[in-house]
Every structure is written in C-alpha cells, then in structure tokens.
C-alpha cells in the first residue's frame, strides 16, 4: 500500500510539549525526507532519540524536531513514502492530539501509486527494556501489531489490541482517532520539566484516579492502547520505508520502539 501526494499540505499550531507555534508542510518528493533550516535530509539518515513522552528527530547540524510520532504515524499508516516534510519551529504541531486530522487531509490530497519496496525480515529481532518492557519483530508478509499495556491506574488497567495493516480506511477509522493521554498525577512534574505546555483537554485525555477527563467521551473503550499502536506506527516510519513484520509490544513505549527501529535500520 503506497500513496503519493498530489499537492502541498500544511498545518500550523502549538507543539504538544513546547507550547510554541510551529508549522509543517508536506510536499511530493522523490524520497521520504525532512527539511529544516534549509537542509533536506533523508529520514533514513536522520538520528533520533526518545523518551516516555515522544520521539524526536535530530538533523545533521544538531537541530532537534520534537514529538514527530503522530504525523509520522499518518504518513506510515497511509504509505506516503515519497514525501518531504518542511518544518518551521522546534516541534510538530499537536493539532488534535492524534493523527486523524493529518490522515484525513493527507488521504484526500493523495492518490494510489506503485508500492514502495518494503523492508523484509529474515530472522526475529527482540528488545527488552525497563519495567518489563518487551518488543519483538518476526518475519511476515505484511505489517501486523499486537500491543499490550498495563497501568496501575484502574481506569486503564490492562488492554490488548491487534492491528493488521490492510488499507487506509482501517488505519484512519480504527487507529488515527485515538488520542494521546497522561495520568493526572504526572502533570505537575511534566510541566516542571517543560513538557505538556501545549496540551489541553481538546487534544489529550487526562486520567485521574476516579475519572477520565477530556472534551467529549472516549472514542473507543480501548482508546489508550490504540494510541500506543498509533505511536508505534509513527516510530516505525522512521525506518524510512514500509516494514513487513509481525510486531509484538508488551508494556513498551517510545524508548523500546526506537531500540527496535535502530536494529531495523541496520537491515535496510
């Protein structure tokens, strides 16, 4: 599944963590790349780093673009592998706290094209992290993901979701609408660390000990684990091409995701 943009598409708004104004413009290009400060670099050649709160890209001159996973998820979920992302600012705009707006606009602005050759695995890859985090990728004819989360907060608890990459409609309707979330008990510390400055109940779900706070209700009973799948699809896009693998993630997050991406990149 691959698509190609027919025209430029732009968004602007506050970054989820920095709270600063930023803008991104996607345009048709010969490869999957990012432009910042006048320098265009292939996604495959960019360095990356992550924390429990997001994934960042680092350009050749040392500049950092924060919280790239939601837009990257839309790109990976739709198969827009011949796209340049031009960035103005330090972060991708948060928009709706998921990838629905990105995905629906990009789908309407693109068309099907010849499939890009995927990365294929010939042996399993495993990564383990702190707190029982585990992620693996084994050879498969297409991308599929099984994701398990477990939180001490009873309003989230343990959730499992199976995703099988089939078509854009499935991604848009079942994954792209799942919003980012945070525990209420963590907010004060996040703000002290200069994070979540652009977050609000319009673009995130806040989970307290006894209630879930957001504008509107949950979009899915298991919205929390679906958002983790969204994040993983965005992090997988940092490989720079489609990935054919059966991925299992247990209590993972951006750090284990990126450990896996590092190993996958070595195979590309």
Residues 198-242 have pLDDT tens digits of: 999 999 999 999 999 999 899 999 999 999 999 999 999 999 999
Task: Report whether 176 contacts 77 (CB < 8 A).
Answer: yes
| Residues assigned a catalytic role | 254
**158 beta partners:** 150
pTM: 0.96
Give the Cα separation of 266 and 264 in Å (integer). Answer: 5
Task: Report whether 191 contacts 197 (CB < 8 A).
Answer: yes
**Which whole number is the average pLDDT over 240-252?**
97
Write the pLDDT tens digit of every residue in 126-142.
999 888 899 999 999 99
Helix 223-236, helix 69-78: angle, nearest 10: 80
The pLDDT of residue 52 is: 77
The pLDDT of residue 51 is: 84
Edge-to-edge strand list for the sheet holding 181-183: 181-183, 205-207, 212-213
Edge-to-edge strand list for the sheet holding 33-36: 9-14, 21-28, 83-88, 33-36, 39-42
């Amino acid at each position: 599944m691959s698509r190609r943009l027919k025209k430029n598409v732009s968004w602007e708004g506050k970054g989820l963590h920095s709270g600063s104004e930023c803008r991104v413009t996607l345009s048709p290009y010969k490869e999957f790349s990012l432009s910042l400060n006048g320098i265009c670099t292939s996604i495959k050649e960019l360095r990356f780093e992550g924390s429990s709160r997001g994934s960042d890209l680092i350009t050749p001159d040392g500049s950092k673009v924060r919280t790239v996973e939601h837009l990257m998820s839309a790109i990976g979920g739709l198969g827009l592998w011949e796209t340049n992302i031009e960035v103005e600012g330090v972060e991708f705009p948060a928009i709706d706290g998921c990838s629905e707006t990105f995905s629906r606009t990009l789908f309407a602005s693109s068309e099907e094209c010849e499939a890009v050759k995927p990365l294929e695995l010939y042996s399993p890859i495993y990564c383990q992290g702190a707190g029982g985090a585990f992620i693996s990728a084994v050879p498969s004819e297409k991308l599929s993901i099984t994701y398990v989360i477990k939180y001490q907060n009873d309003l989230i608890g343990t959730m499992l979701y199976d995703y099988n990459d089939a078509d854009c409609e499935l991604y848009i309707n079942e994954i792209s609408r799942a919003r980012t979330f945070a525990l209420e008990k963590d907010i004060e510390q996040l703000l002290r660390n200069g994070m979540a400055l652009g977050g609000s109940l319009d673009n995130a779900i806040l989970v307290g000990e006894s209630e879930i706070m957001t504008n509107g209700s949950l979009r899915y009973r298991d919205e929390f684990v679906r958002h983790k799948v969204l994040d993983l699809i965005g992090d997988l896009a940092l490989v720079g091409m489609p990935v054919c693998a059966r991925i299992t993630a247990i209590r993972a997050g951006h750090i284990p995701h990126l450990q896996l991406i590092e190993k996958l990149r070595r195979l590309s």
